[in-house]
Amino acid sequence: MDSSMPRYFFDLHDHSSEFDRLGTELDSQRAAQVAAVEFAGEILKNEPSILDSKGLAVDARDEDGTILFTVHIELVDHR
């Protein structure tokens, strides 16, 4: 993999927070967005009981720690 590609870190927040220390090299912010959605989807598929009314978020950080975007998944209770 090309080491000049930026590294993105994907943190998962549900009831607690899990910080990605390893990161993934991806060639653009768009690729990082797709990877974050894919990760959130995998979490939902593999651990569906993780989602409750508190929601779930995947934050993408750059190497400086700046949060670039968030994928937020909600379960909205109507009663």
Partner 1 sequence: MDHGIGALSDLKCAAVSKDQILEAFNSSPRIARGLWWSSLVDESILRQWLTNLGQRFAYERMAHIFCELWLRMTIVGLADGDEFHLPLTQNQLGDTIGLTPVHVNRTLQRMRSEGLIEFEQRRLKICDIDKLKDIAEFNSDYLHLERR
Q: Which residues bind partner 1 (CB under 8 A)?
A: 1, 10, 12, 18, 20-22, 24, 35, 38-39, 42-43, 46-47
CB of 31 to partner 1, least distance (A): 12
Nearer to partner 1, 45 or 79 (CB): 45
Cα 5 to Cα 41: distance, rounded to the nearest angstrom: 24
Q: Residues 12, 18: contact at Cβ < 8 Å?
A: yes
Cα 47 to Cα 30: distance, rounded to the nearest angstrom: 25
Please provide residue 43's backbone torsions phi and psi, each rounded to the nearest 5 degrees: -60, -45
CB of 15 to partner 1, least distance (A): 14
Nearer to partner 1, 22 or 76 (CB): 22
